[in-house]
Amino acid sequence: MPTPQPATGDDLTAEACALPIALLAAQHIYCRPVRDSAGTYLVLPLADGSDITFTGTTTDGIEVRTHHPVHQHGSWQASWTDGDTHRPLYDSTDQHLPHRPDTETLVAAIVTCVNAHGGNRTTPTPR
């Protein structure tokens, strides 16, 4: 997968995942991309062995992926799991929020969870 570049508020061609990745990295929280039959998503391994995953949907609500243009952003979903238990952290489905405020709320939920579970255990990927 290509390495996303941070999006600005006016850059509607940037990938939707670039902004949350940049906001998380600014707080020394890193994630890794995953692609499987369910779509594309990002995983944040936590210090206690649990994980956070997050993904988005496009405006048509059909595509579950993180790599789509900002102007096609529909929603974010994030969840926490320890392998046995799954807990939703954030879901903006059907809220029709603009990309930036939706992303900032997603990141706030992720940061709260990361801190509650002892931090992030992923280091940045060299570019």
**Tens of pLDDT, residues 75-124:** 999 999 999 999 999 999 999 999 999 999 999 999 999 999 999 986 65
Nearest by Cα to 83 from 107, 33, 48: 48
pLDDT at 69 over 90: no
Other Cβ atoms less than 10 A from the Cβ of 75: the count is: 21
pLDDT score at 99: 93
The model's pTM is 0.83
pLDDT per position as a tens digit, 24-60? 999 999 988 888 877 778 999 999 999 999 999 888 8
Cβ neighbours of residue 90 closer than 8 Å, sequence gap 6 or more: 54, 76, 77, 78, 105, 106, 109, 110
